[in-house]
Homo-oligomer: A and B are copies of this chain.
């Protein structure tokens, strides 16, 4: 049975998470502070850690980087829970090495799906944070959040990066605007689907010649293809 460690100071939420994880067949361990979380992680070596970004005493980011400093815990995937979407940009800037994040309030079903996805992935493939995706001349380095086109680094905003990564992860598949809004912008984002168009334009511009790789599929959405 897979072990999942929860590091979350809101007791209600922590218990709710534990309840749902156990219902899904995982073993749940709960801790309320960053220090406890670290100790438990070292002792129990869980398969996944759910880590609140805002913790009393020690920030989730610190916990995360401490985990990354020890060989024993380095490989454990971390899923960050954050209160607001903007916080995550800072985290991303810190190049912390969380494998995924989810913004509160989130749907329990979505969280469970992501957990399942991460655990499935951690079995076989190298971790998300160390992955590198290549599509034609575009290279996305997931660890450093760096994107190069034909060897030249380009600057992307966080939304642009997420959009590109999402399209690249779904290599060649057509993604509907609604789906992009849901998965790139977030589950609870309410907005115009034209927002996607605007960002695609911006992304294409920044990608230069490689911008052509983002294809419009009229009536359906967009895809990234070589």
| Inter-chain contact A145/B220, CB cutoff 8 Å | yes
Give the distance in Å from the alpha carbon of A116 to the alpha carbon of B181 in the complex.
Answer: 12
Check A219 for interface membership: any CB of B closer than 8 A: yes
User: With the chains together, A145 CA to B221 CA distance in Å?
Assistant: 10
Q: Contacts A144-B223, A174-B143, A182-B117 given: A109-B218 contact, CB under 8 Å?
A: no
Quick check: which of A11-19, A28-36, A42-50, A203-211 contacts chain B, the rest being far away? A11-19
Interface positions, chain A 95-132, Cβ under 8 Å from B, are 95, 97-101, 105, 107-110, 113-114, 116-117, 120-121, 125, 129
Q: Is there a chain B Cβ closer than 8 Å to A217's Cβ?
A: yes
Complex-state Cα separation, A174 to B182, whole angstroms: 24
Residues of the B chain whose Cβ atoms lie less than 8 Å from the Cβ of A161? 219
With an 8 A cutoff between CB atoms, is A187 at the interface?
yes
Chain A: interface residue total (CB-CB under 8 A): 54
B-chain residues with CB within 8 Å of residue A12 when the two chains form the complex:
87-88, 91
Instruction: Give bound CA distance, A16 to B87, whole Å.
Output: 11
Contact digits for A180-194, partner B, Cβ 8 Å, 1 yes 0 no: 001000011010000
A179 interface hit (Cβ, 8 Å): yes
Which chain B residues border A176 with CB–CB below 8 Å? 120
- Distance A121 CA – B108 CA, assembled complex (angstroms): 14
Q: What distance in Å separates the Cβ of A157 from its nearest Cβ neighbour in chain B?
A: 7
The residue that A94 contacts in the complex, of B20, B97, B173, with Cβ under 8 A, is B20
- Chain B residues, Cβ within 8 Å of A159: 219
Q: A10-B87, A143-B174, A145-B220 are in contact. List 8 more A-B contacts (CB 8 A).
A: A110-B190, A113-B190, A117-B178, A117-B187, A120-B179, A121-B182, A144-B174, A157-B218
- 27 interchain pairs, CB-CB under 8 A: A10-B87, A12-B87, A13-B87, A13-B91, A16-B94, A19-B95, A20-B95, A77-B109, A94-B107, A99-B107, A100-B107, A101-B105, A109-B190, A113-B190, A114-B190, A116-B178, A117-B178, A117-B182, A117-B187, A120-B176, A143-B173, A144-B173, A144-B223, A157-B218, A157-B219, A158-B217, A158-B220
